Amino acid sequence: MARFQFNFAFIAFLITTITLTTNPRALSSDSESDSFSIIDFDSNLLFHQDYSPPSPPPPPPHPPSASCTDDLGGIGSIDTACQIVTDVNLTRDVYIEGKGDFYIHPGVRFHCPNFGCSITINISGNFNLSVNSSILTGTFELVANNASFFNGSVVNTTGLAGDPPPQTSGTPQGLEGAGGGHGGRGACCLMDKDKLPEDVWGGDAYSWSSLQEPCSYGSKGGSTSKEVDYGGGGGGRVKMTVKEYLVLDGAVLADGGSGGVKGGGGSGGSIHLKAYKM
């Protein structure tokens, strides 16, 4: 009996496959009311058609490393041990490279609260984000030997995405307050039978990076107002490459920002963690 059902299901699958192969429109042929079908949208000019992005340009060369004392107000040197003991409020991208350790002390805020701001820490030694301390930025990249993120700590890139890749805006058009897009199209909660589906979809899909090495910002949500941009920001990007041990007792966030009641939410960004042991 079970075998019969299996065979029946298999034949049904074969028939479906053959039907689809010979008549691709079978999926979307029902009627116009069926027009939320993804297949219809692929042939729509409003939809970006190129889903195999060209390989990204090589990254620009690194700027010289920031200094532990002069640029970051810390104690020590990045080639031995740099300790951040007071809040750091950055206003632009920072690149930190050295042969030593980097410790952010308990409760310290290491922030660059601008859209698309980037903090890179590339050290041969160990990294600690201590109890209740936080890193807030659009992109956080860490290369370290050991890395420990203590209880109550947070790496927060929520809603701080920079610009989307050039292939797509990712951001919804119109003023329906739709959500941002990422791997797929964003959604819109507007119920309006007089509008075409393509007028109320959320943000376009985009993917600059691969699934194996995600490295895309989320996109912004739409607004409901021409004058004020209520859309939530896209989520940021986090990448950590840890040679030995990654101990994560804190939070790592790349959420889309909230659009409140007058805007769509942003879509989430990317988190990519790689370690010998986690």
Ligand X SMILES: *[C@@H]1O[C@H](CO)[C@@H](O)[C@H](O)[C@H]1NC(C)=O
- Binding stretches for ligand X (CB under 6 A): 62, 89, 91, 97, 103, 106-107, 120, 122, 126, 128, 130-132, 141, 143, 145-146, 148, 151-152, 154, 156, 158-159, 244-245, 247, 251, 253
Nearest-approach distance from CB 98 to ligand X, in angstroms? 9
Nearest-approach distance from CB 123 to ligand X, in angstroms? 8
Is the dihedral angle over the CA atoms 19, 20, 24, 30 positive or is it negative?
Answer: positive
Contact yes or no for 151/131 (Cβ under 8 A): yes
Nearest-approach distance from CB 270 to ligand X, in angstroms? 15
Residue with the two structure tokens 């050295």: 98
CB neighbourhood size of 75 (10 A): 15
User: What is the rounded radius of gyration, in angstroms, for the C-alpha atoms of the chain?
Assistant: 23
Cβ proximity to ligand X: between 64 and 191 the closer is 64
Cβ proximity to ligand X: between 147 and 200 the closer is 147
Furthest C-alpha separation in the chain: 77
Cβ proximity to ligand X: between 146 and 267 the closer is 146
Q: Which of 249, 238, 230 is nearest to 274 (CA)?
A: 238
Strands (E), 94-235: 94-98, 101-104, 109-111, 118-123, 127-129, 134-136, 139-144, 147-149, 154-156
Nearest-approach distance from CB 258 to ligand X, in angstroms? 8
Cβ proximity to ligand X: between 128 and 216 the closer is 128
Cβ proximity to ligand X: between 79 and 199 the closer is 79
Nearest-approach distance from CB 122 to ligand X, in angstroms? 4
